[in-house]
Amino acid sequence: MAFANWLWSAIVDRFELTFGAAGAYGAPALAGALACSLAYYLWRRRARGRPASARGFVRTVFAGRIVWNPSSIVDMKMWVLNGLVLAGGYGYLAFGNVFCRDATLAGLDAGFGAHAPAAWPVWTVLAMATLFELLAYELAYWFGHFLFHRIPALWEFHKVHHSAEVMTTFTEMRQHPVEILAFMNLIAIATGAVFGVMTYVFGPGVQPFTLLNGNILLMLFLVTYGHLRHSHMWIPFTGVAGRILQSPAHHQIHHSDNPAHWDKNLGFALAVWDWAFGTLYVPTRERERIRFGVGPTEGQFSTVARNYLMPFARFGEHVGRGLRRLASRRRARLARLGGGSFAEER
């Protein structure tokens, strides 16, 4: 009974966090995505010299071949489980931003001693907090994303997300819990550390400018084109904008199965860390031919159960191979040193 009450409470809380005004799927975010979708539709029709209509808009943005694709159905199921049911539990396994801030502040106090807060104009401090939080968030996201792409054992978990063969806003939550927890913790540590340092320098009360209770820059991304990252709408940012911001086309390239696009565009809202670390691929104005997915999979990612369980088995296989390689290298090293054995070494 206690577990049932906890689960129900977690679902209710998650529902509010997800669909409330500040939620990723709240009215402001969905209305903004719909408005951007409408602008995209009208722009495409005008570019082709064709009339626009309400029916045409619905058929373009909510294309049946995409919405009811078997891959999209799996996305919806995982969205419900990750976004509503399991997310309450994730919170118990993740560091909080406040905890990381306080830990950083305590470390600075212990190492350098307490001091009087710097007397800077409040608007300057708030602007710095807004920008630094965004950059820290993005760096943590980029770093975690980089690890899950480059380390084969971690890629087995992230592959679940990339296995989507079509993309809708539900694809955002087509993620393995291991990946979700890793990103939550990395982002909490990075942003908490930033606010710990700023609190140490400027005193308590340091916070970013907010919109709907979130960092205003991240929220502006979310309530405009953020949900279109996982969509079939080719909306590219090029030139300088393409080196600073992640457009929907940036992320569609990231999901491409073309080797030229692998491990590119690892950022969330910003492209600056991709630009800095050489993982940026700026899309062209004209739509590139892209196929989503991870190649022939023979139904390996066709069910929710497979997507949750299979990565653990493959992760174990990678770890096992790694341990065998280490043992083989150790035996070879011992042989070079004189033909010893493990028993002789002990």
3-state secondary structure of 107: helix
On whether the pTM is more than 0.85, the answer is yes
Kindly state the helix (H) or strand (E) to which residue 129 belongs, with its residue range: helix 122-150
Which pLDDT score is estimated for 87? 73
Bridge partners of 214, per DSSP, are 211
Bridge partners of 242, per DSSP, are none
Bridge partners of 270, per DSSP, are 245
Q: What's the average pLDDT block by block, 10 residues per block, for the chain (346 residues)?
A: 69 75 88 95 92 94 94 95 78 84 95 91 96 98 98 96 96 95 95 96 93 93 96 95 98 96 97 98 94 84 95 95 92 79 44
| C-alpha distances in Å from residue 126, one per residue of 119, 120, 201, 291 | 13, 10, 13, 43
Among 246, 251, 245, which Cα is nearest to 231's?
251
Q: What are phi and psi of 156, to 5 degrees?
A: -60, -35
**Structure tokens given for 233:** 């709408």
| C-alpha distances in Å from residue 336, one per residue of 330, 331, 341 | 10, 9, 11
Name the burial class of residue 2, with classes exposed (0-12), middle (13-18) and buried (19+) by CB atoms within 10 angstroms of its CB.
exposed
255, 173 in Cβ contact below 8 A? no
Residue 334, phi-psi category: left (phi > 0), alpha (psi -120 to 50), beta (remainder): alpha
Residues in the chain: 346
236, 157 in Cβ contact below 8 A? no
Q: Sign of dihedral through CA atoms 259, 265, 267, 269? A: negative
3-state secondary structure of 245: strand
**Structure tokens given for 176:** 């393995």
Q: How many CB atoms lie within 10 A of CB 340?
A: 14
Name the burial class of residue 173, with classes exposed (0-12), middle (13-18) and buried (19+) by CB atoms within 10 angstroms of its CB.
buried
SS (H, E, C) 333-346: HHHHCCCCCHHHHC
